[in-house]
Structure 1
Amino acid sequence: MAEWVYEVVRQGGYLGIMFLMALENIIPPIPSELIMGLGGIAVARGDMQFWPLLLWGTLGAALGNYVLFLAADRLGYERLRPFINRWGRWLTLEWHDVEVAGRFLRRHGHWVVFVLRFMPMFRTVISIPAGLAHMGHAKFLVFTALGAAIWNAVLIMGGRWLGRTLAEAEQWLGWATVVVAAITIAFYVWRVISWKPREE
């Protein structure tokens, strides 16, 4: 898969990077670690430049997160409640958790959005409670873009190092992404199995 994504990245150029990063945050088919890591490999091989790659990748991440944010902002808490009550077991949360998160986000939301941009499982999901809490749109976009820019820069530099150090860098990055995905899925399964509603 990594070789295919690398060709998409190389041939699609910076607009392709933006599209993949936006899509990764709405319907995550390909993780950003792989997209921006392969972008870093393209930088090492002279197919791309660091700063345009960082700019377009960050723009795509911000746009993708903003789509989720807008959907949640329009939905609001009360429309969400029946959904949480019905699917809470699979989401591993209940309505009390949503209320607590909402109060916390209204108070410290911009910093939460910024910090969670560095955490693979939570960086996309945080857009939904931020929207439900009706965080200011400009504040959400600024802190999302800042966090995404820092994370993307780390991924690009890591990919660039791989591209300069290893001949088969795409394969190494592809396997690393598979391992991270497997750990994430295992953690979710453990959460579902071990989760118990508060009333129990």
Structure 2
Amino acid sequence: MTLTPLVASTASSSDSGGSGSLLSGFSDWAVGLMETIGAPGAGIAVALENLFPPLPSELILPLAGFTASRGSFTIAEAIFWTTLGSVVGALALYGIGAALGRDRVRRIAAKLPLVQVEDVDRTEAWFERHGNKAVFFGRMVPIFRSLISIPAGIERMHLGIFTLLTLAGSLLWNSLFIGAGFLLGENWHIVEQYAGIFQWVVIVVVVLAVVWWVMKRIRTLRRRDSDAA
């Protein structure tokens, strides 16, 4: 028995409307990949999730656990391959950051509205103080788990340390979600629902922070203009 119809039905029952059909379609693709090439398919899906953050690891990982519970592969294989996929995707983004480089980032920042080169300097100083923690814990935060690899590359964080921290954070995150999917079986989509709430909380916090920063920067620029006049 193939898993695709069963996964599609559980995914679509967890949501309705357009988002439900999107979830079902992505579930079909992911489980089809796992059925075709086994646990490495889960690793490929997770690597792509790192490169394209809109693809949800909160869906891929419990789905891999569910597929393992059906005997397609072992839970150890699921954890190994998804963690490998996480590291490969993170290293690819690290390479993009390293290729971009600090000098190029500063030149880009100088041309952006509301952004100043000093902002880049402050970001660099923050990363020097908290980079290790940011890479490790960032692997467990939606959206940031992909994006954190880019500043690590820009700052040329020691590649061995970056890889080790990425491996440790990804192993913890992946094991938690795969284990939950394995234990929940056909109810694996419950994990995705609760993780989705967490992701929206992160998005709202980021949007509010960006709005606050823009308003603060506009007030600062206006104050400078009035003082110059």
TM-score by length of 2: 0.72
TM-score by length of 1: 0.82
Sequence identity percentage = 31
- CA offsets 1:134-189 (integer angstroms, 9 cap, x no match): 111111111101110111001111112221xxx4x254345445544544444444
Contact 1:31/1:177 (CA < 8 Å) preserved in 2?
Answer: no
User: Any residues of structure 2 matched to 1:102-117 within 5 Å, and which?
Assistant: 102-117=124-139
Rg larger in structure:
2
DSSP-derived class of the 2:144 partner = coil
- CA offsets 1:95-117 (integer angstroms, 9 cap, x no match): 43432232233344233211211
The alignment status of 1:172 with 2:190, answered yes or no, reads yes
User: Any residues of structure 2 matched to 1:110-125 within 5 Å, and which?
Assistant: 110-125=132-147
Q: Match for residue 123 of structure 2? A: 101
The alignment status of 1:190 with 2:208, answered yes or no, reads yes
- For the structure 1 residues 162 and 8, does the alpha-carbon distance in structure 2 shift closer, same or farther, using more than 3 Å as the test? same
Q: Match for residue 35 of structure 1? A: 60
Q: Distance in 2 between matches of 1:73 and 1:142?
A: 18
Contact 2:42/2:82 (CA < 8 Å) preserved in 1?
Answer: yes
- For the structure 1 residues 179 and 75, does the alpha-carbon distance in structure 2 shift closer, same or farther, using more than 3 Å as the test? same
Could you tell me which runs of 5 or more consecutive residues in structure 2 were left unpaired when the two chains were aligned. 1-22, 222-229
Give the paired residue count: 193
Amino acid at match of 1:41: F
Contact 1:36/1:152 (CA < 8 Å) preserved in 2?
Answer: yes
- For the structure 1 residues 18 and 86, does the alpha-carbon distance in structure 2 shift closer, same or farther, using more than 3 Å as the test? farther
Q: Distance in 1 between matches of 2:203 and 2:132?
A: 27
Could you tell me which runs of 5 or more consecutive residues in structure 1 were left unpaired when the two chains were aligned. none
Deviation at 1:190, TM superposition (A): 3.1
User: Any residues of structure 2 matched to 1:122-161 within 5 Å, and which?
Assistant: 122-161=144-183
